[in-house]
């Protein structure tokens, strides 16, 4: 392995460690209700302020008239801008290519271009909703997301989060119940990852160099936790008015949400499992701790909480056990790791890596 490759590996290991720490911290703090307005930390310059335009209008100057991109101060893109532009031209500045460029360069101009050109594209809508938007803009993008994806419960959950945030509990509950009636729960985290991987390959880099998409994922997850906290508050109000049935319906909706986050495409990410457990734990704490419930498979909330804690410990142990393996992965193994991650998810890929390390340390190796 040459030095450049080793440096890249180290950078990725460091990124994974930081990400893991953030995820664990996020999961640890998530059981506390959100008491402050999350928008308090919002960037004052809302990107959506520029996307009030309808399709075909440019909400922001186009790249040929660049504005200062909203990037982190110390952010150094791994892919040169000219390579990104070359890719965009090759892909005819399609929605996925613009989003990949946005994630790789953290250049919001590319996001705004996607938003203006493809306002009805659900992946664009999801990415926009992961940004800090003012209430009016957020509602506009939520309505678009709901319209473009009528079968996707995620649109309703995100809409519920916004209603809870603005104090419209009744509207939020309506959205929640609609969400529960839908089969699909689709976010675009995996799509964002694949698109950025594609751009990385085009720029002769590896998938490990593509980590910009994670910011959209990490920004969108707290919104679902906000729904869980909104449910708890609304449930308390129902109980205070003596409406136990509605309170229970809400609780079921919360448990449904926890299940959806950890299943299907979204469930391929370890962070989704942590979020799902957090939401489930919030719901479980509303129940009688030592009563057996059918919807918990006959277990008590105390027993189920213990299971969740054990799962969290198992995940932590898994992350810790494979951390040292990351740095020693051959390029072929790295590709196999990502293949498994894309097919089965983070946890299965890490278990494969753990097994690989075990085989290598077997006697005689």
120 binds another protein (CB under 8 A): no
- Taking the C-alpha atoms of residue 96 and residue 114, their distance in angstroms, rounded to an integer, is 8
Compute the least distance from the CB of residue 308 to another protein, in Å: 20
Compute the least distance from the CB of residue 14 to another protein, in Å: 25
Identified binder of another protein from the candidate list 76, 92, 240, 245, rule CB under 8 A:
92
Cβ-in-10-Å burial (0-12, 13-18, 19+) of 337 comes to: buried
Compute the least distance from the CB of residue 174 to another protein, in Å: 24
94 binds another protein (CB under 8 A): yes
42 binds another protein (CB under 8 A): no
Best CA proximity match to 229, nearest among 266, 264, 258: 258
Compute the least distance from the CB of residue 39 to another protein, in Å: 33
339 binds another protein (CB under 8 A): yes
Stretch touching another protein by CB under 8 A, among 87-95, 167-175, 251-259, 285-293: 87-95
Identified binder of another protein from the candidate list 119, 257, 340, 353, rule CB under 8 A:
340
Place of tokens 């101009």: 109
Best CA proximity match to 226, nearest among 270, 272, 165, 176: 165
> Is the Cβ–Cβ distance between 103 and 216 less than 8 Å?
yes
Identified binder of another protein from the candidate list 78, 174, 178, 342, rule CB under 8 A:
342
Best CA proximity match to 155, nearest among 165, 163, 147: 147
83 binds another protein (CB under 8 A): no
- Taking the C-alpha atoms of residue 48 and residue 60, their distance in angstroms, rounded to an integer, is 10
What are the distances in angstroms from CA 188 to CA 203, 264, 321? 23, 12, 29
> Is the Cβ–Cβ distance between 144 and 156 less than 8 Å?
no
> Is the Cβ–Cβ distance between 269 and 194 less than 8 Å?
no
303 binds another protein (CB under 8 A): no
Q: How far does CA 208 lie from the centroid of its chain?
A: 18
Per-residue binding string, another protein, 51-80, x by CB under 8 A, is: ------------------------------
- Taking the C-alpha atoms of residue 181 and residue 178, their distance in angstroms, rounded to an integer, is 5
Bridge partners of 184, per DSSP, are: 152
What are the distances in angstroms from CA 274 to CA 59, 148, 258, 266, 346? 36, 28, 10, 12, 12
Bridge partners of 152, per DSSP, are: 184
Identified binder of another protein from the candidate list 90, 244, 317, 320, rule CB under 8 A:
90
Pick the closer one to another protein by CB: 95 or 179: 95
26 binds another protein (CB under 8 A): no
147 binds another protein (CB under 8 A): no
Compute the least distance from the CB of residue 203 to another protein, in Å: 10
Binders of another protein among residues 183 to 212 (CB under 8 A) are 190, 194, 197-198, 201-202
362 binds another protein (CB under 8 A): yes
89 binds another protein (CB under 8 A): yes
**What SS3 class is residue 328?**
coil
Compute the least distance from the CB of residue 274 to another protein, in Å: 21
335 binds another protein (CB under 8 A): yes
Compute the least distance from the CB of residue 140 to another protein, in Å: 27
Determine how many CB atoms are found less than 10 A away from the CB of residue 28.
Answer: 12
Tokens of 281: 């734990």
Binders of another protein among residues 216 to 275 (CB under 8 A) are 265
Judged by the rule CB under 8 A, the positions of this chain that interact with another protein are 89-92, 94, 190, 194, 197-198, 201-202, 265, 332, 335-336, 339-340, 342-343, 355-356, 359-360, 362, 365
């Amino acid at each position: 392995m040459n030095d450049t490759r080793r440096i890249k590996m180290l950078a990725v290991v460091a990124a994974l460690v930081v990400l893991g720490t953030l995820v664990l911290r996020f999961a640890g703090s998530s059981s506390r209700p959100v008491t402050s307005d999350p928008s308090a930390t919002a960037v004052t310059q809302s990107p959506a302020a520029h996307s009030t335009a309808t399709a075909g209008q440019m909400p922001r100057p186009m790249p040929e008239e660049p504005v200062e991109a909203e990037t982190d101060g110390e952010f150094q893109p791994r892919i040169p801008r000219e390579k990104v532009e070359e890719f965009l031209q090759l892909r005819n500045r399609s929605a996925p290519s613009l989003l990949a460029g946005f994630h790789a360069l953290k250049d919001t101009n590319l996001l705004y271009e996607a938003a203006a050109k493809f306002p009805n594209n659900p992946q664009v809508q999801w990415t926009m909703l992961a940004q800090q938007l003012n209430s009016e803009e957020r509602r506009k993008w939520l309505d678009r997301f709901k319209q473009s994806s009528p079968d996707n419960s995620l649109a309703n959950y995100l809409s519920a989060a916004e209603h809870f945030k603005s104090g419209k509990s009744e509207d939020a509950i309506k959205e929640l119940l609609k969400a529960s009636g839908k089969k699909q729960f689709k976010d675009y985290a995996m799509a964002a990852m694949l698109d950025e991987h594609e751009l990385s390959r085009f720029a002769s880099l590896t998938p490990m160099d593509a980590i910009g998409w994670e910011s959209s994922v990490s920004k969108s997850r707290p919104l679902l936790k906000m729904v869980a906290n909104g449910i708890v508050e609304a449930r308390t109000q129902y109980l205070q008015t003596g409406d136990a049935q509605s309170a229970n319906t809400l609780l079921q909706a919360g448990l449904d949400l926890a299940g959806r986050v950890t299943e299907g495409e979204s469930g391929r990410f370890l962070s989704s499992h942590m979020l799902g457990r957090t939401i489930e734990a919030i719901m479980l704490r509303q129940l009688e701790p030592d009563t057996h419930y059918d919807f918990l498979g006959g277990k008590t909330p105390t027993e189920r909480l213990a299971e969740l804690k054990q799962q969290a410990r198992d995940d932590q142990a898994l992350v810790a056990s494979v951390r040292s393996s990351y740095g020693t992965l051959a390029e072929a193994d790295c590709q196999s790791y990502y293949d498994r991650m894309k097919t089965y998810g983070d946890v299965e890929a890490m278990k494969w890596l753990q097994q690989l390390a075990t085989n290598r340390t077997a006697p005689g190796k």
